[in-house]
């Protein structure tokens, strides 16, 4: 059982009945940055409701290389994990803590029963599907129609929005992994962006000057 105080920030999402039900049947988990929360091939019995922090949702190719699909923020849940839970299939994505995170784990059986009995919960699930679907379309458009330098700068600007800071603590290798390319390519493009006065590079840090 979790504290009702923890869910107060989500009163705009859920009615009082669902808030109370979540406190009764769910449990709290914390993860450190880079911890795997959901892994590919994992059987899912709970869905995560993100309370604090950001979570990266990734796909993996046959060579073990990862591609960033979207990032979850506070109040989000993962539509891909919802789909796996509803279809009783194993996870096809990897969810990794992008920073220290706190999540509420909601049992699968409750997620299903609430969907049929509570309008605020049903609206939340359907909206989550729509938002994540739109984000995946944006990812596909980015891959199909943007050059790598444009993808990189968009990635950095999205990071600014998530962190609410123009100073990003991130390595070239981390960026390369998220964008499914090499560190050498990222380092070259970052230097190009710096020459264009869009960013300023530091040691494992990037300051965004234009966004």
End-to-end Cα distance, the chain: 43
Task: Match 């096809």 to its residue by tokens.
Answer: 92
Closest by alpha carbon to 205, among 156, 171, 166, 154? 171
Encoding tokens for residue 98?
Answer: 């992008």
pTM above 0.85, yes or no: no
Low-confidence ranges of the chain (pLDDT < 70): 85-87
Q: What is the pLDDT of residue 85?
A: 67
pLDDT tens, position by position, 50-73: 999 999 999 888 777 888 889 998
CA dist 162 and 152 (Å) reads 15
Task: Match 């264009």 to its residue by tokens.
Answer: 196
Q: What is the pLDDT of residue 2?
A: 87
């Amino acid at each position: 059982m979790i504290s009702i105080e923890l869910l107060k920030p989500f009163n705009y999402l859920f009615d009082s009945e669902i808030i109370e039900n979540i406190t009764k049947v769910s449990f709290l988990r914390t993860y450190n940055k880079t911890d795997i929360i959901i892994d590919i091939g994992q059987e899912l019995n709970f869905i995560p409701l993100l309370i604090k922090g950001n979570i990266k949702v990734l796909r993996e190719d046959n060579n073990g290389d990862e591609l960033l699909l979207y990032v979850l923020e506070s109040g989000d849940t993962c539509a891909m994990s919802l789909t796996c839970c509803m279809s009783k299939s194993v996870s096809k994505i990897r969810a990794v803590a992008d920073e220290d995170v706190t999540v509420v784990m909601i049992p699968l059986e409750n997620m299903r029963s609430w969907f049929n009995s509570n309008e605020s919960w049903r609206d939340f699930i359907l909206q989550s599907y729509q938002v994540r679907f739109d984000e995946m379309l944006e990812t596909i458009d980015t891959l199909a129609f943007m050059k790598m330098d444009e993808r990189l700068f968009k990635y950095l600007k999205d990071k600014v929005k998530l962190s609410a800071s123009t100073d990003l603590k991130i390595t070239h290798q981390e960026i390369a992994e998220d964008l499914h390319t090499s560190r050498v390519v990222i380092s070259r493009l970052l230097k190009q962006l710096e020459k264009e006065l869009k960013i300023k590079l530091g040691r494992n840090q990037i300051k965004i000057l234009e966004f």
